Amino acid sequence: MEIAAPPALVFPHLVAREKRLRWMGALAESEVLGEGRFHEVFEDLGQRIEIETEVVREEPPHLLEVRLRGATFEATSTQRLETTDTGTRLSTVVETGHTSRLARLAGPLVARRAQRQLEADLATLRELVEAEGD
């Protein structure tokens, strides 16, 4: 994802609770539990999914790694921000492991849906950040 703003303007949108609530479409609630720890509620297709998130590595404004734990999965999300001639290249890698047999069976379907949601969310993020820069 290319964003026409420097990493220093993009990075706060990845870590600040109130900013994430604006661009992450399925994120309905985010409660701070402590430094870098959150209880988050995602709503998707009428389902409430509660997740504990923890920032495990933060190198502003170029790297953010977050561990996510839900009832049926554990995941790590790594976001890298590279400076480009036109702003920032943001890349996101999510590694997921399922903790139940049913979740493992549904995994490919869930992964496709999550990928579509991530792409839509990142497009929203780009719009918000670029609008701030205007």
Domain boundaries, the chain: 2-133
Residue by residue, DSSP assigns 68-130 as: EE-SSEEEEEEEEEEEETTEEEEEEEEEEEESSHHHHHHHHHHHHHHHHHHHHHHHHHHHHHH
Show pLDDT as tens, one digit a residue, over the chain (134 residues). 999 999 999 999 999 999 999 999 999 999 999 999 999 999 988 889 899 999 999 999 999 999 999 988 899 999 999 999 999 999 999 888 866 655 555 555 556 767 788 899 999 999 999 999 76
Class (C level, CATH) for 2-133: alpha beta
